[in-house]
Amino acid sequence: MFSYNISSLVVDCEIELPGRLAATSNRPAEITIRSAIVPEALDAPIAVAPTWEMTRDQFLLRVPGVARFLVVGDDTILFDAAATATPADLAIFLAGSVFGVLLHLRGYVVLHASAVRVGACAILFCGASGAGKSTIAAALANRGYPVVTDDICAVTIDPVPIVHPDGRQLKLWREAIDALAMSDKAREAVRPSIRKYYVEPPAADRTPMPIGAIYALREPRPPAVIGIQQLPPAVAAAKLHENAYRPRLVDRLGQAGLYFAAATRIASDAGVYHLTRRRDFASMEQVLRSLERHWDAIGLGGRPA
């Protein structure tokens, strides 16, 4: 059995999860991931989509050629691997989508975001897949800002919004690794067939911390102009729901109120912004400088040494 710390939870997993940092805590496991026979469908589902279905306390995800995954209650993940599945295939879903669903079921506010630490706070970058979340986190990590989460960001509200580090390596495309000169930190491919690799961040932080700011990434398509723009609270609240890891699941679980409470709290305490920038690597240095100026302006000091 392998043991990991993911989003402040101790996770025991029957198979190795590449890209995950080993557990540092001796607490008993809160989540168990193991192989089992998983049905093709669930009895009396309350929601059904082409690839998934759910009941009150179970969530089934079907990934053809990889596995059927079943989240049971809020502490168990079962997987039934297809004959053609590689361990890397299983790991990417177990540590990614399936774990994200489990966090939703446990009542976390789960955002599609990557985060770094600035001073004592987490700075989140959210956006759809391909928006550049991991790349910007990697570029900031190169500047000495520790990475907190990549892709999935688990937040609890108690009473201030707290980010729980995911204890994982970054996942970056080869082009980003080359542009950021991080080849020495690149590890195995995320899946053998794609040019995306696990990358050891130069620094990582594994302590839960409050949110300092959230940036929604976008490109400068008119009328959007390059720069950092604070979102009015109602827009910020809508933006946070939109950037939930699985927005439809939030609605199905009746958690819209939870995200609303989190969003209004974050809009009050921290601020939600658009970061409008060109996505090319040539603009990265300029983007990082404008972020650092913004952190100075909103009082989030703490440049890394």
Partner 1 sequence: MARVRKTGDWLSAQVGDGLVMMSPEQGNYLGISGVGTRIWELLDTTDDVEAICDALREEYAVSPDQCRADVDAFLAKLDAQGAITYLTGASD
Name the residues that contact partner 1, by CB under 8 A. Answer: 232-235, 237-238, 241, 251, 254, 256-257, 260-261, 263-265, 267-268
Quick one: 192 or 299, whose CB is closer to partner 1? 299
- How far apart are the C-alpha atoms of 100 and 96, rounded to whole Å? 6
Contact by Cβ (8 Å): 252, 47:
yes
Q: How far is the CB of 123 from partner 1 (least distance, A)?
A: 20
Reduced to 3 states (helix: H, G, I; strand: E, B; else coil), residue 293 is: helix
- How far apart are the C-alpha atoms of 217 and 142, rounded to whole Å? 19
Q: How far is the CB of 150 from partner 1 (least distance, A)?
A: 28
Strand order in the sheet with 67-72: 2-6, 9-13, 31-35, 76-81, 67-72, 58-63, 52-54, 47-48
Q: How far is the CB of 83 from partner 1 (least distance, A)?
A: 42
- How far apart are the C-alpha atoms of 287 and 291, rounded to whole Å? 6
DSSP code string of 49-83:
-SSEEE-SSEEEEEETTTEEEEEETTTEEEEEE-T
Quick one: 238 or 288, whose CB is closer to partner 1? 238
Quick one: 17 or 263, whose CB is closer to partner 1? 263
Quick one: 12 or 242, whose CB is closer to partner 1? 242
Quick one: 172 or 213, whose CB is closer to partner 1? 213
- How far apart are the C-alpha atoms of 162 and 166, rounded to whole Å? 13
- How far apart are the C-alpha atoms of 20 and 9, rounded to whole Å? 13
Contact by Cβ (8 Å): 167, 6:
yes
Q: How far is the CB of 247 from partner 1 (least distance, A)?
A: 10
Q: How far is the CB of 279 from partner 1 (least distance, A)?
A: 27
Quick one: 8 or 243, whose CB is closer to partner 1? 243
Q: How far is the CB of 254 from partner 1 (least distance, A)?
A: 8
